[in-house]
């Protein structure tokens, strides 16, 4: 990927402030109960919602556990990494432009 | 044993902070995964976020290691390690939860690595024992989680 393209994308992302999502990825080793615990604690989800998201990640490989401004999602992703989980950020399709 | 493993993991995180980390170590790939699809974004995120994450991990892991080493019987004490009793406050419980999971993850990655990538002299029996430790750590973590609910 050329530096041009990457920079353009970066500018586009920050200029529009488009919606970003924090994606939690499935990880077969990690305890389900631990994932639920982390989701409840980090995002204030109810136990039911946290369980739903964990199950979705298991089923689909990944699940969106939060969304909003890019900087906020970066914080969430870093926090999930620190908790030992695998997470990424993605642009949400059809985000505000 | 757990304290020993904890100290080894501490070494890994210190290497991240000191920028001495081996970038192709599967353990570091798992503990500091890519946050973005794009290489440049991922590299930038790693550069900025990893030292803070590593520092945080050093704090929490140190907490568990110190708790363990403080609770160890003194030399000559005949008590079985397995009977150690720990009293944890909420902060300690969180630190233990994360640290137990972290040691477990590291062992899981290591015991699934190609033998040629590990320290020479590691035997099948060593690997099998470490896998038992992974299971045991999962059990301890699960029990702690139940106790917190």
Residues in chain A closer than 8 A to B102 (CB atoms) = 84
B23 falls in which pLDDT band (50, 70, 90)?
A: confident
Number of structural domains found in chain A: 1
- Nearest CB neighbour to A1, from listed B38, B102, B141: B38
Determine the Cα–Cα distance for residues B11 and B2; give it in Å rounded to an integer.
14
Q: Across the interface, do A84 and B102 touch by the CB < 8 Å criterion?
A: yes
Domain with A63, as residue range(s), is 18-91
Looking at the domain assignment, is residue A6 inside a domain?
no
Output the average pLDDT for chain B: 87
Average pLDDT over residues B41-61: 94
Helix (H), strand (E) at residue B99: helix B90-111
pTM: 0.85
Q: How far is it, in rounded angstroms, from Cα B144 to Cα B41? A: 37
Rounded distance, CA A60 to CA B92, Å?
34
Per-residue confidence band for A15, with pLDDT thresholds at 50, 70 and 90: very low
Tell whether A7 is covered by a domain. no
Which pLDDT value is given to residue A41? Answer: 94
Q: What is the mean pLDDT of residues A68-77?
A: 95
Q: What is the pLDDT of residue B50?
A: 94
Q: Domain containing A23 — which CATH number?
A: 3.30.1390.10
Whole-angstrom distance, CA of residue A14 vs CA of residue A97: 10
CA dihedral (A86, A25, A44, B146) positive or negative: negative
Q: How far apart, in Å, are the Cα atoms of A31 and each of A42, A60, B95, B105?
A: 16, 17, 16, 11
Query: A64 versus B68: which is more confidently predicted?
Result: A64
Helix (H) or strand (E) run with residue B131 in it: helix B124-148
What part of B 53-72 touches A (C-beta under 8 Å)?
53, 56-57
User: How does pLDDT run across A17-53, given as a tens digit for each residue?
Assistant: 569 999 999 999 999 999 999 999 999 999 999 999 9
| Under 8 Å between Cβ of B21 and B28 | yes
Report percent pLDDT > 70 for chain A: 77
ipTM value for the complex = 0.87
A6, A74, A81: residue with CB nearest B38: A6
Classify residue A5: in a domain, yes or no. Answer: no
């Amino acid at each position: 990927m050329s530096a041009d393209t990457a920079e353009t994308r970066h500018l586009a992302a920050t200029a529009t402030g488009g919606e970003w999502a924090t994606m939690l990825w499935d990880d077969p080793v990690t305890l389900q109960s631990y994932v639920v615990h982390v989701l409840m604690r980090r995002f204030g989800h109810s136990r039911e919602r946290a369980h739903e998201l964990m199950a979705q990640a298991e089923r689909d490989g990944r699940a969106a556990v939060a969304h909003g401004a890019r900087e906020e999602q970066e914080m969430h992703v870093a926090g999930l990494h620190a908790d030992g989980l695998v997470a990424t950020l993605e642009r949400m399709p059809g985000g505000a432009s | 044993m757990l304290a020993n493993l904890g100290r080894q993991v501490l070494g890994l995180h210190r290497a991240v902070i000191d920028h001495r980390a081996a970038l192709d170590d599967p353990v570091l790939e798992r503990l500091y995964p890519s946050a973005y699809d794009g290489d440049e974004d991922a590299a930038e995120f790693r550069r900025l976020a990893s030292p803070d994450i590593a520092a945080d991990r050093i704090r929490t892991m140190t907490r568990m290691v110190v708790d363990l080493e403080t609770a160890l019987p003194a030399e000559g004490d005949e008590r079985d390690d397995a009977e150690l009793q720990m009293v944890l406050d909420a902060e300690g419980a969180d630190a233990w939860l994360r640290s137990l999971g972290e040691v477990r993850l590291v062992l899981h990655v290591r015991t699934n690595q190609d033998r040629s990538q590990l320290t020479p002299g590691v035997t099948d029996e060593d690997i099998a024992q470490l896998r038992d430790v992974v299971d045991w750590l999962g059990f301890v973590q699960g029990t702690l989680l139940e106790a917190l609910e």
